[in-house]
Amino acid sequence: MTINKECARKILLEVEQIPFGNTITIEQLHEKLPEYKIEDVLNIVTLFNKDHYLTLSDKAPYDDSNVFRDNKINCLTEKGYKTLDLIRDDNIWNLIKEKVPNYNELSFYTILDIANKIVNVKINEFFDLPKDLFTNNNRW
């Protein structure tokens, strides 16, 4: 399964907007992201659920790996918020897309690792800290 990185980022941004106590179905999420195929949305939500980036309710009890259009997304998890914080900024996201020569070949997780390094370097520069102080710190 290939993960559409743009779609994955937008899913995290959309799920963050779900008001506390509410849910949206995957079909409703797809309606907010019409530029992507439903299969992409389902694949990414399935992956994000398995990797604990978001939580689902009404998941099919007989098969933990199946996620359907009518499953409901509750919210991002702590891991989901930390991940989104790395790629929320359009400047960082676009910098990665522009500067990394093989961006299209990299996995979503590799992009997160690069974003983590960029954020840490920016923090170091902001506080005038040594460049390598946080570079080994994985925030996500």
CATH number at 48 reads 1.10.10.10
Domain total in the chain: 1
Question: Residue 37 falls within a domain, yes or no?
Answer: yes
Question: Residue 43 falls within a domain, yes or no?
Answer: yes
How do strand 54-57 and strand 24-25 relate by DSSP bridges?
A: unpaired
pLDDT digits (tens, 9 = 90+) for 34-49: 999 999 999 999 999 9
Q: What pLDDT shows up at residue 59? A: 57
Cβ–Cβ < 8 Å for 15, 76: yes
Q: What is the pTM of this model?
A: 0.84
Instruction: Give the confidence band of 127 by pLDDT, cuts at 50, 70, 90.
Output: confident
Question: Residue 113 falls within a domain, yes or no?
Answer: no
Amino acid at residue number 100: V
CA angle 36, 109, 123 (to 5 degrees): 110
Q: What pLDDT shows up at residue 123? A: 82
Question: Residue 33 falls within a domain, yes or no?
Answer: yes
Cβ–Cβ < 8 Å for 97, 70: no
Cβ–Cβ < 8 Å for 108, 96: no
Sign, Cα dihedral of 113, 118, 120, 121: positive
Question: Residue 41 falls within a domain, yes or no?
Answer: yes
Question: Residue 110 falls within a domain, yes or no?
Answer: no
If you average pLDDT over residues 45-70, what whole number do you get? Answer: 78
Question: Residue 133 falls within a domain, yes or no?
Answer: no
For 106, the enclosing helix (H) or strand (E) is: none
* 139: pLDDT strictly greater than 60: no
Question: Residue 21 falls within a domain, yes or no?
Answer: yes
Determine the Cα–Cα distance for residues 22 and 40; give it in Å rounded to an integer: 23
Amino acid at residue number 124: N
- Domain holding 56, by residue range, is 5-77
Q: What pLDDT shows up at residue 55? A: 94
Compute the mean pLDDT over every residue in the chain, rounded to the nearest whole number.
87
